[in-house]
Amino acid sequence: SVFAQASRVVVALEHLNGNFAPVGLGRFVVIDTASDLVVGDLDTQFANPFGFIYPIDNYLTIGSVPNFASPDTSGCLEALTLTPNLAGTCLLDNSVAGGYISRAVASGSTAHAVVTRADFTSAIVRFWPDQPALAPIEITPGTQAPVDLAYCNATHELLYADSNAGG
């Protein structure tokens, strides 16, 4: 995944074998667009950064999924800060969320994430990035299968696509 922010491009790299299985931690690489030089790199907290990079508050985030067969056993919503120093952390552990985080958005003082479980069911959870001790709250009914979400700052609405409803 690639994300451009100001004069920097951040790339999340997987470390996979020939069968596309994770064999080590992933890596964030930061490139300065003015010089086209790598200006920083950092290992992810877990193997297999998966999906797209999205901003949440002062972080760039991407879910990590070391094991798709049991996504609730390890991995997290990886979070990278670029300033003042390159640093990484986890905003929400997959074990706490109940599956891997495929998309997350900031929504006011909270954040929301699409969580996909081993049985391929999914839900949206609300969580608090600055208070990781608070358990996430599932907000979608079991009859829905959210696959993507967005937050509209102008109207304070959380919008999502539900694959069970055809969207």
> Tens digit of pLDDT for each residue in 120-157?
899 999 999 888 778 899 999 989 999 999 999 899 99
161: helix, coil or strand?
strand
| 165: helix, strand or coil | helix
Residue in this structure with the two tokens 């491009």, named with its chain if needed: 9
What pLDDT is recorded for position 14? Answer: 95
pLDDT range class, residue 109, cuts 50, 70, 90:
confident
Percent of the chain as helix, strand, coil, to the nearest 5: 5, 55, 40
CB neighbour list of residue 84: distance below 8 Å, 6 or more residues apart: none
Question: What's the rounded Cα separation, in Å, for the pair 26 and 42?
Answer: 9
Residue 167 banded pLDDT, cuts 50, 70, 90: low
Residue 89 burial class via C-beta count within 10 angstroms: exposed 0-12, middle 13-18, buried 19 and up: middle
Query: Which residue is it, tokens 């409803």?
Result: 165
Contacts 24+ apart (CB under 8 A), 137-140: 138/98, 139/112
pTM: 0.92
